[in-house]
Structure 1
């Protein structure tokens, strides 16, 4: 008979789970978990029929490698409660063989990739060989990323499977039932499966509780827990229904008796275990309290030291456990202040055997005594500890507030520094733009020749070094290059004509206007030398005009003029 099983689970950090560990177990491989710094080695695991990764056609090649894929999935999630992966757990009909199971899984995984755009890591597991396992239990773990696969890696988060109201999970349940029936038909089998509940199908049957890995392991060992017992009872009830549909009332009466009997047994076992645990706690506290008093009395009444002793011995929790255990024993009529009765010795035989507690043992401190001691001695200390806790909390909150204010202040200062740097960069840009307007760098075609051109080029180099030092706030270097530049200008001015002096004047004026630094000690001196050169050129020009007398032009001779000397 074909069975139907389809469930969805998540791999979440909030539950302490790792997608890398899950992939390693399901594939039977050894994978290194970069997020937790662990190596998960399941290479000795047997019964893995298939382990295959399915991806969209255009995804990054790294997502096709199991090691890289799941470490990328872990890295993509930043929150401590992130869901790293989702998983469909499915069961195959016993009627399908290995090749048919593989074909069915491939079709399912390709549909998941097509619908959600995620990466799917699917593995088929054969039934365990140990006893207690159904040898027809061929099943698959279909692990998938929570983010879509892109050419660059894992991208946008998918949310449709997280929303119960979207109906996406129910859609997949129906889709898997359709897929199962399709492959059963292809294999030539008449049986079919239905994803609906017994109630929705109108069938008078009870659904079993899913037995997870831990419960399955107990069943293999022949052990039992509430889920196993419940499922076995459900199976019995379903068998009774199938055998005799006309005896419903009889079945319910029988089921109620079975349930009542099992509950009574469980209640007795629970009560016995609870009493044993309480008696164990009671006697454990005697030694804990005795050791605690040694350190507590050594404090000489210092509250801070007493609080530290309570913390070191974890005394508050031990005291609460002792009080709860004492109340339970008292309600059951057990008074640990006197030697235990023979009937109690039998009921608590495991405790006495384990602890070697003698029948005539007398407690170091009773519950009533501890109540008085707590009220007189420990309550003030507990209040002190609570006050210290509140003070510490207040201090931490104040530190947090100050840290936040400091961070915001640093952010504002950083923004201001960035704006200042931006303004400086704009100033330098303006500096060079204005400097270029002077015509510096043009070729000079005059009597100074190459020497003149080289010196003007050197002025340009000094200007670049000036600007770089200015941006870096290295004003020592700025003054150095400014001094060298103006020494060169002063040396060059006496060799320049009036037209070139205008160029030098523009360079000096530009330096004054754009640097924002006081360099008048250099510009004033250069301006003075420049003015002296201008006066010299003007004097030379005036002198040439007053001393130079042009020669009279010779008279033209006629062709018939003869110069005869008699």
Structure 2
């Protein structure tokens, strides 16, 4: 294939003897000259104006080893017809295999622009459309100075516009759909025991680490006695997966043992030979009676909750009792000091002393009789 811009020639196949089939497929309305891959990809290259544009994209699919040459061709052609050319894309595909026939696969080179079926020309990758509000009406562009809708050239009102992609090949949703459709195309031809699932381990709920694509170069290095980095990484991933499988199996056994022990404990707690209460026959239906209010049984008086004794509360209580004791002692001391001394205040010779009168001392009464 020759690049018309630079004049360089490229050979897309490293080993021609391993290329089983090459074909170009076009969408509706495409020029017939594009059946030549060189003309097709030079034309899409010329349609791009930016220096960093991507004129084509490559899709690589693995072909099941259960397929023969005819089934490979059929699965690939059906997939391209339903999902690539039906969406306006032109492409060239090549079916490859290795010398042992153990790695059949296909490369699909897709032009990164759609072809307009009406004109046969390359369509734009995006288009401008009116922006619509929630009610489906166009949104006006307001002039901040006047607060009214802007007026453009030729006295036309200006409406808000947005750019809409016209290249679904750039979207993640379209690529995920291609994965699903390829699995469906292969499963339609595979026998019942072989099924392809396009989903990842995570999407399928499988707790395993996915391996990586090793490639031809890494495997050839291994065949020659060397160590391929990608093959070494896959061996490490496989060892981790075996360890995860062993751990899951151990957890399963421990769970079964714990369940058995729990069942045995429940059986021992249940009294053996205990008669079961006979099931009473269901009573006949009675007419519904008005439910009577149930008497509420008297409840025992509840004790007031005990106060929570914190360190601060105990300290305050001790200080209060100490103050009370000190006040009591002071009161007793004051009373003791206020009492008269009997030896100093009792005058035995004074007949007017209250004590002498009360006891009949010196009055002829019945005294002590000294």
When normalised by structure 1's length, the TM-score is 0.34
1:173 aligns with 2:179: yes
Match of 1:136 in 2: 102
- Of 123, 126, 130, the residue aligned with 1:155 is 123
- Of 186, 196, 200, the residue aligned with 1:197 is 200
Structure 1, residues 429-488: CA drift from partner, whole Å, max 9, x if none?
xxxxxxxxxxxxxxxxxxxxxxxxxxxxxxxxxxxxxxxxxxxxxxxxxxxxxxxxxxxx
Match of 1:49 in 2: 20
Distance 1:127 1:191, change over 3 A: same
- Of 16, 23, 34, the residue aligned with 2:4 is 34
Match of 1:236 in 2: 239
**2: CA distance between counterparts of 1:235 and 1:140?**
27
Alignment size in residue pairs: 209
**2: CA distance between counterparts of 1:146 and 1:190?**
37
Structure 1, residues 344-378: CA drift from partner, whole Å, max 9, x if none?
xxxxxxxxxxxxxxxxxxxxxxxxxxxxxxxxxxx
Give the C-alpha shift of residue 199 in structure 1: 2.2
8 Å Cα contact 1:55-1:113 kept in structure 2? no
Match of 1:211 in 2: 214
**1: CA distance between counterparts of 2:200 and 2:121?**
40
**2: CA distance between counterparts of 1:216 and 1:153?**
44
Give the C-alpha shift of residue 68 in structure 1: 0.6
Structure 1, residues 223-257: CA drift from partner, whole Å, max 9, x if none?
334332111222334456668851589xxxxxxxx
**2: CA distance between counterparts of 1:64 and 1:108?**
18
8 Å Cα contact 1:60-1:149 kept in structure 2? no
What is the 5 A alignment of 1:173-322? 173-184=179-190, 188-212=191-215, 214-216=217-219, 218-219=221-222, 221-238=224-241, 246-247=249-250
Aligned-residue CA RMSD (Å)? 2.7
Distance 1:218 1:178, change over 3 A: same
Give the C-alpha shift of residue 208 in structure 1: 1.1
8 Å Cα contact 2:60-2:108 kept in structure 1? yes
Q: Which runs of 5+ in 1 are unaligned?
A: 1-30, 130-134, 250-566
8 Å Cα contact 1:241-1:248 kept in structure 2? no
Match of 1:352 in 2: none
8 Å Cα contact 1:120-1:143 kept in structure 2? yes
Larger Rg: 2
Q: Secondary structure at the match of 1:147?
A: coil
Q: Secondary structure at the match of 1:89?
A: strand
Structure in which a larger fraction of residues adopt helix = 1
When normalised by structure 2's length, the TM-score is 0.51
Match of 1:67 in 2: 38
**2: CA distance between counterparts of 1:44 and 1:203?**
38
Q: Secondary structure at the match of 2:197?
A: coil
Match of 1:545 in 2: none
Match of 1:125 in 2: 96
Distance 1:87 1:100, change over 3 A: same
8 Å Cα contact 2:26-2:85 kept in structure 1? no
Distance 1:36 1:112, change over 3 A: farther
Give the C-alpha shift of residue 56 in structure 1: 1.6
Distance 1:43 1:213, change over 3 A: closer
- Considering Cα pairs closer than 8 Å and 6+ residues apart, tell me whether 1 or 2 has the greater RCO: 2
**2: CA distance between counterparts of 1:246 and 1:47?**
44
Q: Which runs of 5+ in 2 are unaligned?
A: 126-165, 253-370
8 Å Cα contact 2:27-2:86 kept in structure 1? no
Q: Secondary structure at the match of 2:180?
A: helix
8 Å Cα contact 1:85-1:144 kept in structure 2? yes
1:145 aligns with 2:111: yes
Distance 1:91 1:222, change over 3 A: farther
Distance 1:227 1:50, change over 3 A: same
Structure 1, residues 204-230: CA drift from partner, whole Å, max 9, x if none?
321012235654554454433433211
- Of 74, 89, 93, the residue aligned with 2:64 is 93
